[in-house]
Every structure is written in C-alpha cells, then in structure tokens.
C-alpha cells in the first residue's frame, strides 16, 4: 500500500512518501534505545514541563492540523479541531497526574513484617521503546492517548501510523521534537505493514500497542506472543445502544444520531446496533431516522458539514456490501442505503438506518464502519440484554433507562468494557478505556493506561 495523502472528498493524491529503508529503520531503533537510557531517569517535573509545552504548541496548531486530518481521512473539520483540542487536554492531564498515578505503593506494615522486611513497596518503572501501530480514524487522538502516558512514564515511542495519514504521523514526531523532548524520544516510522513484524521482533522494542482491525490485532499479538512481549489491543466494536420504556425517548433519539454519525460513522466506539423496547420502538425509529436523514453531507472542509466522505474507496465498498447483503435478505431501509448524488469522485455514503435485521445477515455480526445503523425491536429486558451481547465484540455500550434496577442489570450483564447510562460513549483521559471479547484487551487512559507499559517492581528491605 502506498504511503500517501489521498483526499477522500475527491480522490486526489496530494502527497506521497517513500517508505523507510532498512538502514533508516535501524538508525531509528538505535536512537530509541539510546534515548531511553537517559530519558528514563528524567524527573516527572521535567517530563511534565515538556508535555505541557507540547500541549501549548498543539493548541497553536489547531486550525492547521485540523485541515491536515480532514484532507487525509475526511472527517468534518470542526470535528478535527475538536480532536486536536482533546489531545492537548489529555497531554495536560497526564502531565499533571502521572507522578501521583505512578507513586510508590507501600505494603501494609503488618504484611512487610510478616515477610521479614522492614518495609516493602511496589514501584512502577518504564519498560523502554514501545511500538504503537495506530489507525487512521482518529489520527491524532489514537496516538496521543498512547504517547502522553507512555512518555510521562519514562518510555519512548515508535509510531507506525496508518499509511493514509502520513502527514499527521510526521506532524506528531515534529510536535514532540518542537516541545523539547530529546531526539529519539518519539519517532514516526513511515513503513508498510509488512515491515511491522521485523520492528516488533527487534529486542530493543519492549512492548506494543495496537488500535485497529481484528486481523491486525491478531497479527501483532501473535508476533508479540512469540517474542514474549506485552501488548495492549483495542480492536473493533459493534456497540449496542439500548432504549427502554422509561427513557427520555426524544433525547435518546437525538443523541443516537450523534452516537452513530460521529467521525462519519467511522469509530470503534460509535453506537452501531440500536436495540429499542417494543413499547417505544416506533417513536424512537421515527425520530432517529428523521435525524439521520437531516444530517448535512458535504465537503468536510466546510464548517456546517456533518457527514464527510469515508476514508477510502475500499471502505465504502465494504460498507455497501454489508448494506446490500442485508437488504437482499429482507432488511427495511428507513433512510439512506445509497451513495448520495453530486459528489463526483468523493467516497461518500448517505446516513442510513436499517431495520428488520436477522441473524442471517452479515451486518448482524460484522462491524459497520460508516454512517449505517441497525435497528432492533426488543420485547423486554431479557431480550434487550441478549441482543446487546449477541456480537463477537465487547468495546462499550449505551443504555437509556430511568429504572435503577434495569441499570444494575445492564451493568452486571452487558459484555463490554464500558456502560454509559443515559448518554453516549465517550473517552476521557481520567477514565479507563478498552474492551473484551474480540474488541481486545488491556486498558488505555487513566491510571490503568499509564501502568500498562510499566515494570511493576517489588522492592523489599530487610529488617
């Protein structure tokens, strides 16, 4: 696959880049190892100073990097700027909290004495160079939510970004360099997917994190397992959005549009399967389809655009296959289901709502990466839970109900890494993020995320 910026709004190739050769990859791996030896000994105060500087520079760059993201992968430019601002927020959060999150943890005096020690503590120490294999859909945020905690913990980063967002990838390397982080502290590797295995097997690389597709996750986890290296995986999602009779149906339907259509529908944590109790199904379906139909599809660089193009032509083709398969097997199209008119060579797809979904349809089990929602009717609580869990994925979930007993049932029984009650799934630097089943393992963000790439060391002092 070429390493190039191809504008998905018109199919125009804007910039191309040569992949790094073996000699340059070796130079960068050597630089990462050498930098880690000294960077790991820097103080939290110094790391925080650098991270705050990176956040300030990112704030200054919001407009420019927002346009770059939009022209590389098609998200509406307002959403691109918001993504960059969120990254600056996460940088500041980790700069301010990392020292406390990684503070020594003393054992209880009685337990220390029982072991024959005067004191015992657990200390978090950095692992070394960490390889991040990142996707295109949130090309800044996916990287920063790894990089900010990893760098604050004393690790160094190696980024293998998606091949269709090379300008964003290079911007990130430059951002950390301009902030004053030591040369080699954070490096972008412009390489194809075929070169990832060699980098991951290199003994200087100590761990890996991947956000992306299930096949990519399997490949990285397999290599890392063979090398006995730690991995964190955040893979696909097909999140349920459950609406019960006690919910504010009008608000649930309004938020549902944003939950499905954010980032042109290309988000692992976007709500994708809308499971609505029979008592409120018709009211919800009418409002939801109307809201999806009303979204403005247009040039993503225009401020009032709500839906831009899909990131790649293949991505649109994959989405069309899922919709066509469902319709061919009896699904009802409430809105959309086609390419909108008037967009020339752009990779656009109309906001779509499908209902009458059955298990025979591919879309029942496969993730839809685009502005397509599936709508299910549930007879009651038990069926709603069963439908929500009838997926190989388990990233997050959304539940709309005012009944506390129902809330507790959903929190207990939903197979997901998050349960968002009366609101849509969102990530925040203070809260752990990740999933179960085929959505991956490990956690990003919060204290859990910063500790994923630390050596938890027991320090024992004799009496």
The CA distance from 317 to 459, in Å, is 55
Contact 348, 394 (CB under 8 A): no
- Residue 40 phi/psi, 5-degree rounding, is -60, -20
**How far is residue 271 CA from its own chain's centroid?**
14
- Helices marked H in 40-165: 44-60, 62-73, 77-101, 109-114, 141-152
Under 8 Å CB-to-CB from 337, ≥6 apart: which residues? 323, 327, 350, 352, 354
| Active-site position among 234, 367, 406, 444 | 234
Is 268 annotated in the active site?
yes
Closest listed residue to residue 247, CA positions, set 14, 71, 406: 406
Enter the tokens of residue 210. Answer: 């991947």
Beta-carbon count within 10 A of 390 CB: 16
The CA distance from 249 to 255, in Å, is 10
**Cα-only R_g, the chain:** 23
Where residue 26 falls (left for φ over 0; alpha for ψ -120 to 50; beta otherwise) is: alpha
The secondary element (H helix, E strand) that includes residue 265 is none
Strand order in the sheet with 454-462: 105-106, 117-126, 454-462
Pairing of strands 117-126, 105-106: antiparallel
- The residue written with tokens 């991995």 in the block is 231
Measured CA to CA in angstroms, residue 441 lies from 27, 140, 396, 413 at distances of 32, 21, 13, 18
Measured CA to CA in angstroms, residue 227 lies from 146, 193, 223, 456 at distances of 21, 18, 6, 20
Measured CA to CA in angstroms, residue 245 lies from 74, 249, 294 at distances of 37, 8, 25
338 burial (CB, 10 Å; 0-12 / 13-18 / 19+) is exposed
40 pairs with which residues across the strands? none
Is 335 annotated in the active site?
no
| Active-site position among 268, 306, 406, 452 | 268
- The residue written with tokens 């986890």 in the block is 221
- Catalytic residues, by residue number, are 234, 268
């Amino acid at each position: 696959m070429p390493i190039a910026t191809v504008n998905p709004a018109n199919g125009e190739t804007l910039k191309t880049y040569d992949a790094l050769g073996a000699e340059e990859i070796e130079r960068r791996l050597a630089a990462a190892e050498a930098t880690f030896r000294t960077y790991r000994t820097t103080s939290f105060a110094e790391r925080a100073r650098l991270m705050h500087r990176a956040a300030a520079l990112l704030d200054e760059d919001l407009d420019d990097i927002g346009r770059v993201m939009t022209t590389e992968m098609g998200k509406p430019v307002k959403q691109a700027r918001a993504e960059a601002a969120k990254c600056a927020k996460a940088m500041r959060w980790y700069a301010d909290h990392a020292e406390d999150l990684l503070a020594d943890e003393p054992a209880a005096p009685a337990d220390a004495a029982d072991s024959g020690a005067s004191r015992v503590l657990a200390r978090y120490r950095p692992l070394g160079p960490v390889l991040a294999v990142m996707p295109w859909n949130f090309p800044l945020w996916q990287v920063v939510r790894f990089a900010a905690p990893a760098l604050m913990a004393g690790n160094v980063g190696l980024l293998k970004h998606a091949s269709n967002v090379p300008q964003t990838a290079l911007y990130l390397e430059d951002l950390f360099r301009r902030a004053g982080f030591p040369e080699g502290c954070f490096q972008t590797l412009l390489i194809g997917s075929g070169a990832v295995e060699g980098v991951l097997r290199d003994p200087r690389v100590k761990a890996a994190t991947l956000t992306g597709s299930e096949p990519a996750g399997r490949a990285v986890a397999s290599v890392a397992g063979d090398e006995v290296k730690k991995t964190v995986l955040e893979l696909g999602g097909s999140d349920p959005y459950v609406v019960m009779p006690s919910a504010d149906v009008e608000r649930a339907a309004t938020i549902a549009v944003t939950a499905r259509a954010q980032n042109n529908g290309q988000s692992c944590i976007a709500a994708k399967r809308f499971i609505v109790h029979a008592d409120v199904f018709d009211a919800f379906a009418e409002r939801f389809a109307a809201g999806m139909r009303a979204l403005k599809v247009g040039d993503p660089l225009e401020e009032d655009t709500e839906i831009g193009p899909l990131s790649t032509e293949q991505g649109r083709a994959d989405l069309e296959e899922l919709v066509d398969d469902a319709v061919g097997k009896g699904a009802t199209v409430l809105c959309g289901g086609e390419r909108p008119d008037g967009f020339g060579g752009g990779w656009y797809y109309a906001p779509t709502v499908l209902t009458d979904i059955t298990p025979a349809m591919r879309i029942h089990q496969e993730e839809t990466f685009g502005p397509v929602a599936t709508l299910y009717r549930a007879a009651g609580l038990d069926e709603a839970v069963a439908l929500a869990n009838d997926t190989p994925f388990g990233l997050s979930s959304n539940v709309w109900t005012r009944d506390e007993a129902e809330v507790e049932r959903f929190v207990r029984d939903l197979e997901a890494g998050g349960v968002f009650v009366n609101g849509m799934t969102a990530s925040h630097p203070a809260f752990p993020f990740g999933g179960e089943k085929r959505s991956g393992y490990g956690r990003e963000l919060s204290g859990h995320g910063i500790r994923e790439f630390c050596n938890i060391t027991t320090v024992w002092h004799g009496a």
